Amino acid sequence: MQEQEVKKLTMDDVAKELGVSKTTVSRAVSGKGRIGEETRQRVLDYIAQHNYKPNVMAKGLANNRTYNIGMVLQADLLSSDLPFFPKALKGISEVAAKEEYDVIMTLVDTNDLSRLARVIENHKVDGLILMRTLQDDKPAEMLKKSDIPFVTMGLSDDPQVFQVDNDHVDACRELTSILLLKGLRKIAVVSGDTNYVINRKRLEGFYKAHEELGYTPDESLIFTDVDSELFAARVTDTILMRNVNCIIGADDLLTSLVLKKLEEENMMIPEDMRLASFHDSQLLKAARAGITAIKFNTEELGRETCKVLLRRIRGEEVPQVTKLAYEVAMRESTK
Amino acid sequence: MQEQEVKKLTMDDVAKELGVSKTTVSRAVSGKGRIGEETRQRVLDYIAQHNYKPNVMAKGLANNRTYNIGMVLQADLLSSDLPFFPKALKGISEVAAKEEYDVIMTLVDTNDLSRLARVIENHKVDGLILMRTLQDDKPAEMLKKSDIPFVTMGLSDDPQVFQVDNDHVDACRELTSILLLKGLRKIAVVSGDTNYVINRKRLEGFYKAHEELGYTPDESLIFTDVDSELFAARVTDTILMRNVNCIIGADDLLTSLVLKKLEEENMMIPEDMRLASFHDSQLLKAARAGITAIKFNTEELGRETCKVLLRRIRGEEVPQVTKLAYEVAMRESTK
DNA sequence: TTGTAGGCGTTATCAG
DNA sequence: CTGATAACGCCTACAA
């Protein structure tokens, strides 16, 4: 449409063109400081016409800001094919964009925090969001030592950590209660890496439900740290020999693996075995029976977490813990 | 371990402390320019001891660089639950980190490129990667007008666009050939949004295989722009009434939806219907029969794309098109 | 209300 | 081989 812009316009260019000083332009742009309404309009008009945009680098250098926030996640969360991360990103990005912030992704590994260290040392972000909390949370420890504000997506027992998450304890408690009240007493749990706080919280809810209703869970039916298809198949085998009524998969990936094994063994759901899961993603769409699952609005979680972080960056007061809701979707699989 | 660092060390601090000039320190750090070996070591030692890190903002301002690259993706790619994006990110992040680059995520929408526009105007990145190419590629058009180097993950017919991708035409051609040579002649295709070049390329390969072997595909068995579970179910119904031998799902999500419908109809795979897919992700893990699929190494794709982009940023020569390999995984579903 | 001048932390140029 | 000094583009006292 227009001629291509050969050179970026700077504040100085605008000032000279308009015969005013850079200060004046700066004030018009930022809205800070006193400035005549007429001049203000003149500057703003010119800027709009000529498409001037302040240089973020220079702005950042001057007031020590980057207008970036960081998202830190364990690389293995990416390998899992669980849609948690993309959904969360969507929510975060939405809120960040509204405040003119961009999102930098930083991957870490249990043994390698170097990329996170770099982001911090290089001042590449104004604040960080930690996706998922860990029992032994090295990234959080590292951040506590720096002066960069951060918020975790996932609960933490550390009172120094600002955290936002769905209430997984209560979610799993409610799900378990429902199952128990349906008369299902022999419930097996197939859960993942116990270093993730989330998996611990879910188990906590499982126990809590039993306690509240006066039942005693069978510890030998609780399988944790299941981390492969083979392991899941073996666990399912074991479960099948134990006269179990119902299986709770701690996430959709595990549930889908269990489901696969069940189908191989020609078990009918819900007739031969009840099944419940977390997250309700596409991973379970291929199942013939609808699978009962706890639904979390992960986009919403992303949005809320980002809001909390932005408030912290601005130095506003925020609650140390924010718990979000969940929803139980009952389907045929637990009929 | 150490006392907490109250204030960031600047180059000036280092210079003063060592009794040399900033220039000298700069040279020691960057390795550019002549400097005495002894001084160099002295500076480097001091820096290591006191953990000095150059300020990226200042560096960026001085040489007009951000040390960030951008990843642009359609928001709907995030909703799809396909693991394409996370895998690609992993590869990109790996290469970028090696070169001290960080990755900024930018989401766009067919009707809303504002976030991309902001990233460009604000100089937040030194280059961009476009995830997936579109038939009507607004983001690419926008970038061509700017002077920021960019590379697409996905092929494009635009000779001005630097592109990296697996050879989808050939992959689908090979898959189709194999199926045809197995004697399957009535093959249906269930494909997604034709605005994505990738879906067109796959169809292209499908036709090519028929042509090469002298068969004529049944156009009425080709369903494009299938974008919902309901639509997929309807299409599958139609296919079932048409005496079809085999269905090719254009991605794992569509295949899983087709599969679900097939199972609901009690169709046995491969006895009653053969099925083949693309990508081989966890989405199909729940299927009882292993599903034949084309496998792409998406992490590798991410790495290669990022390498090409970094070369472009450095102003090096790069091929305009880079095609990567694929692999056919034959499973029971097409026996 | 507006302008001047100095600073943010680096790199690059040009002397010495 | 090393050191002033001027950019880079914006912000902000402090002056006028």
Instruction: Please give the torsion angle defined by the CA atoms of residues A83, A85, A91 and A92, in that order, rounded to the nearest 10 degrees.
Output: -170
Is pLDDT of A81 > 60? yes
CB pairs under 8 A between A and B: 165
Q: Work out if B1's Cβ lies within 7 angstroms of strand D.
A: no
Contacts of A54 in chain B (CB under 8 A): 122
At A286 the pLDDT is 64
Report which residue type is found at A169.
V
Q: Work out if A16's Cβ lies within 7 angstroms of strand D.
A: no
Is pLDDT of A126 > 80? yes
At B5 the pLDDT is 44
CA-to-C1' distance for B37 and C14, Å? 23
CA-nearest residue of chain B to A113? Answer: B97
CA-to-C1' distance for B306 and D9, Å? 29
Contacts of A259 in chain B (CB under 8 A): 286
Contacts of B286 in chain A (CB under 8 A): 256, 259-260, 263, 283-284, 286-287
| Beta strands B246-249 and B68-74, pairing class | unpaired
**Alpha carbon of A107: minimum distance to chain B alpha carbons (Å):** 7
> Per residue in B41-50, pLDDT tens?
999 999 988 8
Q: Work out if B31's Cβ lies within 7 angstroms of strand D.
A: no
Helix (H, G, I), strand (E, B) or coil at A178: helix
Is pLDDT of B297 > 90? yes
A100:B81 CB<8 A: no
A81:B281 CB<8 A: yes
- The closest nt to B15, taking CA to C1', is D3
In degrees, to the nearest 5, what angle opens at C-alpha B174 toward C-alphas B169 and B179? 130
Q: Are A164 and A301 in contact (CB under 8 A)?
A: yes
A286:B282 CB<8 A: no
At A130 the pLDDT is 97
- Residues (45-74, chain A) with CB within 7 Å of strand D atoms: 53-55, 57-59, 61-63
B76: left (phi over 0), alpha (psi -120 to 50) or beta: alpha
Is pLDDT of A319 > 90? yes
What's the CA gap between B7 and A140, in Å, rounded? Answer: 21
Is pLDDT of A252 > 90? no
Q: Work out if A110's Cβ lies within 7 angstroms of strand D.
A: no
B286:A264 CB<8 A: no
Q: Are B284 and B291 in contact (CB under 8 A)?
A: yes
At A38 the pLDDT is 86
At A121 the pLDDT is 81
Q: Are A108 and A75 in contact (CB under 8 A)?
A: yes
CA-to-C1' distance for A23 and D16, Å? 14
CA-to-C1' distance for B28 and D9, Å? 26
Candidate from A145, A229, A288 with C-beta closest to B263: A288
B187-190 β-sheet, strand order: B222-223, B187-190, B246-249, B274-278, B292-295, B327-329
| Beta strands B222-223 and B274-278, pairing class | unpaired
> Per residue in B95-136, pLDDT tens?
999 988 999 999 999 889 999 988 888 888 999 999 999 999
Is pLDDT of B30 > 80? yes
At A56 the pLDDT is 82
- The region of weakest confidence among A59-63, A216-220, B91-95, B314-318 is A59-63
A79:B89 CB<8 A: no
**Alpha carbon of B268: minimum distance to chain A alpha carbons (Å):** 13
H-run or E-run covering A150: strand A150-153
Q: What is the token pair recorded at A151?
A: 């918020």
Reference B66, options B160, B153, B149; nearest CA is: B149
What's the CA gap between A83 and A77, in Å, rounded? Answer: 9
**pTM summary value:** 0.88
What's the CA gap between A164 and A306, in Å, rounded? Answer: 9
Contacts of B105 in chain A (CB under 8 A): 71, 89, 93, 102-105
Cβ-Cβ contacts under 8 Å for A171 (sequence gap 6 or more) = A202, A205, A278, A294, A296, A326, A328
Q: Are B171 and B250 in contact (CB under 8 A)?
A: no
> Per residue in A289-309, pLDDT tens?
788 999 999 999 999 999 999
Q: Which residue has the tokens 């949370």?
A: A137
- Kindly report the three-state secondary structure assignment for every residue of chain B: CCCCCCCCCCHHHHHHHHCCCHHHHHHHHHCCCCCCHHHHHHHHHHHHHHCCCCCHHHHHHHHCCCCEEEEEEEHHHHHCCCCHHHHHHHHHHHHHHHCCCEEEEEEEECCECHHHHHHHHCCCCCEEEEECCECCCHHHHHHHHCCCCEEEECCCCCCCCEEEEECHHHHHHHHHHHHHHCCCCCEEEECCCCCEHHHHHHHHHHHHHHHHHCCCCCHHHEECCCCCHHHHHHHHHHHHCCCCCEEEECCHHHHHHHHHHHHHCCCCCCCCCEEEEECCCHHHCCCCCCCEEEECCHHHHHHHHHHHHHHHHCCCCCCCEEEECCEEECCHHHC
> Per residue in B142-198, pLDDT tens?
999 888 999 999 999 999 999 999 999 999 999 999 999 999 999 999 999 999 999
CA-to-C1' distance for A57 and D10, Å? 9
- The region of weakest confidence among A19-23, A177-181, B70-74 is A19-23
Give Cα B316 to chain centroid, integer Å.
22
CA-nearest residue of chain B to A115? Answer: B97
pLDDT level of residue B7 (50, 70, 90 thresholds): low
Contacts of A95 in chain B (CB under 8 A): none
Mean pLDDT of A97-108: 93
At B1 the pLDDT is 35
For chain A, what is the mean pLDDT?
89
Is pLDDT of B264 > 90? no
Is pLDDT of B23 > 70? yes
Q: Which residue has the tokens 């030692």?
A: B45
Mean pLDDT of B19-39: 87
Q: What is the token pair recorded at B83?
A: 């693991």
B265: left (phi over 0), alpha (psi -120 to 50) or beta: alpha
Show which residues sit with Cβ under 7 A of nucleic chain C.
A 19-24, 27, 33-36, 38-40, 58, 61-62; B 8, 10-12, 22-23, 26, 29-30, 32-33, 53-55, 57-59, 61-63
Cβ atoms < 10 Å from Cβ of B47: 19
What are the distances in angstroms from CA A170 to CA A165, A326, A335?
12, 9, 22
What's the CA gap between A288 and A277, in Å, rounded? Answer: 15
Q: Are A332 and A284 in contact (CB under 8 A)?
A: no
CA-to-C1' distance for B34 and C16, Å? 15
Q: What is the token pair recorded at B271?
A: 């006895």
